[in-house]
Amino acid sequence: MNRRLPAEWEPQDGILLAWPRQDGDWQPYLDEVEPVFIEIAKEISRFERVVIIAPDQEALRKTLHARGAEMDRVEVFEIPSNDTWSRDFGPITVLENGEPLLLDFGFNGWGLKFPADRDNRAGRNLHGAGAFGTVPLTTVGLILEGGSIESDGRGTLLTTAECLLGPNRNPHLSKNDIESALARHLGADRILWLRHGYLEGDDTDSHIDTLARLCPDDTILHVSCNDRQDRHYGAIRAMTAELQSFRTRENLPYRLLPLPWPSPRYDENGVRLPATYANFLAINSAVLVPTYRDANDDTALAAVQQAFPGRVVIGIHCLPLIRQHGSLHCLTMQIPQGVLA
């Protein structure tokens, strides 16, 4: 069995989204957050297809048409879901002997923090509805969220020990067991473990896609914090030192590009929200980057442009998204080339 987990920046057929529901956690903020979802879907549709889970297909198609989405690239399925974070419950696509295979890993609400019964079935329901054509889907008996792993497409994974080795996902498995499972299911032969770094207000136990991202040409974009008064300062500095110690397959240091630290944002109860520029999404010919109406937005966009010089870099206003403790990448799951064709 020859498996490979494609890098996010490889050619895609589309992106999976789950739309916010009146009966879901977004209900108090729907007027603020739905325009963000519309903007994300519209921008994606300029470059590739958008597959959307939504409670009302006809209403959503009318809304997106009115806002200028490329409707011939939009598909809507009335599939139940608990929430909107399809990065973590959507199927992960590997290539097995060059052919796409959908892997439906278990999702337990980020370690039993939130209800996840409908989310956990969403991938299988989409497959049953014909969303992925004839591409096979395999259910895997392992709890694994897409936001917890980064792939360079060549067998290297970047992840965090806080999430993958925590007791609330796969407590019966050791580190060696986890590494063996990642090798077996994803074709990973090198795993870079980060033991430092976190975002206050994050519910995911330090998902890697909030902290550091693998990019083309052995580049890593990562959050940085230069404010000694910030509670993250020590942990982020330690994380940066770890990244500096990592080596490529050719035993060379990675090219590290720091992302700025957004100004602290808080909810109505004074709880800090996890704003991060690392939560960007690479799509065909473009990169969508979360912005927060912050003085550091332009610096973040410029850093992402450095890592993806041949692509259009598009800022998406994501301040409403962090009210539910996630951002742009968390909402989306890429569907590699060959799955929707």
pLDDT at 24: 87
- 95 part of a folded domain: yes
For each of the chain's 341 residues, which pLDDT tens digit applies?
699 999 999 999 999 999 999 988 899 999 999 999 999 999 999 999 999 999 999 999 999 999 999 999 999 999 999 999 999 999 999 999 999 999 999 999 999 999 999 999 999 999 999 999 999 999 999 999 999 999 999 999 999 999 999 999 999 999 999 999 999 999 999 999 999 999 999 999 999 999 999 999 999 999 999 999 999 999 999 999 999 999 999 999 999 999 999 999 999 999 999 999 999 999 999 999 999 999 999 999 999 999 999 999 999 999 999 999 999 999 999 999 999 96
Alpha-carbon gap, residue 93 to 137, rounded angstroms? 9
Cα dihedral 43, 283, 102, 147 sign: negative
CATH code, domain carrying 88: 3.75.10.10
**DSSP SS3 for 177:** helix
- 147 part of a folded domain: yes
- 341 part of a folded domain: no
- 305 part of a folded domain: yes
Alpha-carbon gap, residue 113 to 93, rounded angstroms? 26
Range of the domain at 129: 3-336
Cβ contact 7:152 at 8 Å: yes
Alpha-carbon gap, residue 326 to 26, rounded angstroms? 12
Determine the length of the chain.
341
Instruction: Return the residue matching tokens 């992960």.
Output: 92
pLDDT at 341: 66
- 55 part of a folded domain: yes
DSSP E strand boundaries for 130-188: 137-143, 149-151, 156-160
When computed from its CA atoms, the radius of gyration of the chain, rounded to whole angstroms, is 19
Task: Please tell me the chain's helix, strand, coil percentages from 3-state DSSP, rounded to the nearest 5.
Answer: 30, 25, 45
Instruction: Return the residue matching tokens 């301040």.
Output: 319
Name the pTM for this structure.
0.97
Number of domains comprising the chain:
1
Burial of 124: CB neighbours in 10 Å, binned 0-12, 13-18, 19+: middle
Instruction: Return the residue matching tokens 């989409």.
Output: 126
**DSSP SS3 for 1:** coil
- 263 part of a folded domain: yes
- 226 part of a folded domain: yes
